[in-house]
């Protein structure tokens, strides 16, 4: 693997110091810059064009998730590995939708950190073990495409998938992640479902779906 050019984005000086020491000791890594805010990370990524950004989630001003979105949109070849102390599911999924290629918790060992950096640098996706276990459990509980065509024939196949997930209690963001759609597309499907089923809201759609044995 060629030397990875890495940008660190974290507002905690002590943690940046630790990452800097780790990278300086790695012959396969080159530290090209450091940012303490999301805005600085976006600007430095545009200027330096690193291979990889190690991105914190919560920073002053623009947060790490929005900074990730801006960096990846402007330079799709730049890979982002989120490194944070927060393990909330909504932050993990938001980071993935923004374009991050991995999500690592700050309690990771040096060996785990280096392994994650190299994996994301090689184009792989990587998650902390506890995050990965929760993601597997989350997706295992989501079962789209269970509605037969004869049930709600007025709906398209995709709309039946969305209705199934709605009836299982999932929100638009989770449905978008499961079906690899944008949240806007999911909202459009939900609107079409409500219109075609002639119901006023999601709650009524859930009742219709469950009464029909969809779930």
Instruction: Quick: pLDDT tens for 97-131.
Output: 889 988 998 988 899 999 999 989 888 888 877 77
What CA–CA distance (Å, rounded) separates 133 from 114? 20
Same domain, 26 and 127: yes
Q: Residues 81-95: what's their mean pLDDT? A: 84
- State the helix-helix crossing angle for 38-48 and 64-74, rounded to 10 degrees: 20
CATH number (domain holding residue 185): 1.10.10.10
In this structure, is residue 148 part of a structural domain? no
Share of the chain above pLDDT 90, in %: 52
Confirm if 102 and 82 have CB atoms less than 8 A apart.
yes
Average pLDDT over the chain, rounded to whole? 87
More confident residue, 145 or 207: 207
Helix (H), strand (E) at residue 15: helix 13-24
Q: Does residue 112 sit in the same domain as residue 23?
A: yes
Angle between helices 110-121 and 13-24 in degrees, nearest 10: 70
**Spatial contact of 9 and 64, defined as CB atoms under 8 Å apart:** yes
Res 194: pLDDT:
95
- Same domain as 167, residue 196: yes
Could you list the residue range(s) of the whole structural domain that residue 171 is in? Answer: 157-211
* Percent of the chain whose predicted confidence (pLDDT) is above 70: 89
| pTM, to two decimals | 0.64
């Amino acid at each position: 693997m060629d030397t990875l050019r890495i940008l660190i984005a974290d507002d905690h000086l002590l943690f940046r110091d630790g990452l800097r020491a780790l990278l300086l000791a790695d012959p396969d890594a080159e530290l090209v810059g450091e940012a303490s805010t999301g805005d600085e990370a976006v600007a430095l990524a545009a200027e330096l064009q690193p291979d990889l950004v190690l991105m914190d989630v919560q920073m002053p001003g623009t947060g790490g998730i929005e900074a990730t979105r801006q960096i990846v949109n402007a330079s799709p070849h730049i890979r982002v590995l989120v490194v944070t102390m927060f393990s909330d599911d909504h932050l993990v999924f938001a980071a993935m939708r923004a374009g991050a290629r991995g999500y690592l918790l700050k309690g990771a060992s040096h060996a785990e950190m280096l392994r994650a950096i190299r994996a994301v640098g090689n184009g792989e996706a990587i998650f902390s073990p506890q995050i990965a276990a929760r993601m597997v459990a989350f997706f295992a509980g989501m079962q789209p495409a269970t509605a037969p065509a004869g049930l709600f024939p007025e709906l398209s196949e995709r709309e039946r998938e969305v209705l199934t997930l709605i009836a299982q209690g999932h929100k638009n963001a989770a449905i978008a992640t499961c079906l690899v759609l944008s949240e806007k597309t999911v909202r459009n499907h939900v609107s079409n479902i409500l219109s075609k089923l002639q119901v006023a809201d999601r709650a009524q759609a859930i009742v219709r779906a469950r009464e029909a044995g969809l779930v």
